[in-house]
Amino acid sequence: MPVIIIPARKGSTRLKNKLLLPVKGKPVIYWTAVNAAKTRNIDKVIVATDSKEIADIFKDQEKIEAVLTPSDLKSGSDRVAFVAKNLKDDKIINVQGDEPLLDPEDIEKVVNGLDEAPVATLSFPIKKEEDYLNPNIVKVVVDKENFALYFSRSPIPFYRDIDFSNMIESFKNPVKKHIGVYGYRKDALMDFAYSLKPSPLEEIEKLEQLRLLYNGYRIKVFQAKKDTLGIDTEEDFKKFCLIMNEKN
């Protein structure tokens, strides 16, 4: 059975302790885990954290458990791999702790995508030029079978002889935002975390997924049903609060 692992480091740079910020009486990481647990046909949700405070949130949750991990792990992917190496599950889904609004049906697409490829992820069409030019929004271009060709913080594909509005009108969803949910077959995750060295492209762009492409892994990219909101800034957090308050 597939398992969802949510890396949840307490420390954060741009928004302090963002995973513990309260929304309707519960912290952000709680909403992320509960939402992920709605995904069909998964074994369980594991929150992989370096914080006892975060782990204690899930003491009494039926389908969600927390596992304490070393604080010196370099990345969320390393935290996921640390937990996954002791599991029998072959499909490992990495859901970011600051993504509480992912559609569970989109997570399910990633799970099912691992029948086609060793790694799977999500994208969503970019419609605004400001997002296309924003280096904090990662772009992905795909081949005709929706396997990733490249991920970049730069505006790709570059519009040489056409302006942005004409580009998105003339071509079918040519500009895609990468949504950072990853599905791995376990052997691919173990290879990524423990065998493959960071590639030059990864070091330049600061994008871990480029390590996989550099080493010949194929990444299947599925279009999400809806866009998501990663919580990186105070503004993002305020948007999330508004969305949650509008639900009731």
Q: Which amino acid is at 102?
A: L
Q: Which residue has the tokens 């995508």?
A: 113
Closest CA to 80 of 98, 94, 97: 94
Q: For residue range 9-54, list pLDDT tens digits in order.
A: 887 767 888 999 999 999 999 999 999 999 999 989 999 999 999 9
Tens digit of each residue's pLDDT (9 = 90 or more) over 45-81: 999 999 999 999 999 888 899 999 998 888 889 999 9
| Model pLDDT, residue 117 | 97
User: What type of residue sits at position 120?
Assistant: A
pLDDT at 16: 83
The encoded tokens of residue 68 equal 């304490």
Token pair for residue 60?
A: 């009494």
User: Tell me: the pLDDT tens digits for 83-131?
Assistant: 999 999 999 999 999 999 999 999 999 999 999 999 999 999 999 999 9
pLDDT bucket at 248, cuts 50 / 70 / 90: low
Q: What is the pLDDT of residues 148-200, one digit of tens each?
A: 999 999 999 999 899 999 998 888 889 999 998 999 999 999 999 999 999 99
pTM of the model: 0.92
Residues 31 and 23: beta-carbon distance below 8 Å: yes
- In one-letter notation, the amino acid at residue 27 is P
Q: Could you give the C-alpha distances from 108 to 63, 95, 116, 154, in angstroms and in order?
A: 17, 12, 14, 29
What's the confidence (pLDDT) of residue 123? 97
| Segment 141-150 mean pLDDT | 96
